[in-house]
Structure 1
């Protein structure tokens, strides 16, 4: 992986070592135990080189260009080749792109280009799909104070990439995992004997960890704030209930609305005065953005 690609990943808030592991695992999944692309080896001379363009096949928001670059730059290393691929990124993450736009250009051994193609596109299409979906939510919430927020409903092994794609699409991240933020949900409340008891136990055990509390009623919201909670997850509440919580809590806690929300009601829920709208579908149900690799001819 080149220094330029590593730098681009760091600027995106991604760990190059983690991206390398994801890319290597994905390539090995395609290459099998013998680390080879049998079709490309059989049909393309070793010495042949070509240039190919990474091209948008649909309108959307692109994300993951540095990740795709890492695939092309690492494919030679993974396959045991001493040859390399050069990548020139044309677009930038977070940009709106149109069908036919060239996003990047890759030049190198044709075998390596085609061996890396599907892995690079799988990651790029997935991340761009998340970014495109997120941008639709961000646009729907424009004019309200609410920001669209992701969840932990991510693809195993791809959480950091998918959460970055949310940021590229204009959204924001919640917790990365179970380690960085305590989230007191219904089962925790039940097991601990209530909101106040659960909050007190978290504070006593992890005094420096941010605590969020899931509430289902206005009364629970009031109890959580009185216990010391500074972030409430308002689960499956109507707009009227959300407005009541906003009036009750004021600025004592940040408020997140969640629970089966759709783009059709995004503006209505955003207008209630909550700070965030969380949408699990950003990472568990976003369709890909169609992107292809086209070898240049002539």
Structure 2
């Protein structure tokens, strides 16, 4: 190989490594403004129906250069072979999805939620977790999402002070190659083994579902995994879509009786709310032993051999 080609390949590899090194879990609005248009930075707008926003909201105004993906329809989640809905698709599907969006392995992906509610932040954390599972560490979330980005308004024009672009942005397709982190994926057997051994289980669903008052439409039974701690996902944000800081989350964990270190499993119904719980534990608190159970209660309750604890049923 010619020396000049070798040097160029090395330069590209180093630049990609540098991006990965500076990718923090959360970035601020100021950081976003300062990095608009920079090579290797891809803003991925994930506003969608879970937050009451849509593609039309994206087209009316987004961060300049941002691309949009439909979280519910583009293939970020699908039904698995056992009939459990909203699960992680196979690697090839995700590689194609991400590559077709114009995202390459060298890119730093900044996920932009609507920022209006915790469930919307959960969209960002779920996509973030997906990138991490695929071995892509150059990924961040814009803290507060578009709500925070457009919060400052010009007194005269009433328009957002930060740059806004209208219309649709399409990037040329890229080749995205995953390096699957199998250790991040928990099977039902993994979870039952950990649970049987007294492992820490964190239910990130609303309190009513934890008690068994209500349940997901696809869950076969109401209630939770016996012995689980309830730490609702909407505890973890403030002003709708801003993640609480480390000190604030530590206080919440203490209230919920959840340790801030050690092996623990976050679950919900299908791995959406639980991704926010996992993000809080793994990325903000720095507990690298925290994991997400994708199948969650929809898969768990489908197995009659597995116990479910319901406060309502015990009355």
**What TM-score bracket applies, with the shorter chain setting the length?**
under 0.3
Give the structure with the higher percent helix.
1
TM-score (structure 1 length as normaliser): 0.24
TM-score (structure 2 length as normaliser): 0.23
Give the structure with the higher percent strand.
1
Q: Which has the larger radius of gyration?
A: 1
With CA pairs under 8 Å and 6+ residues apart, which has the higher RCO, 1 or 2?
1
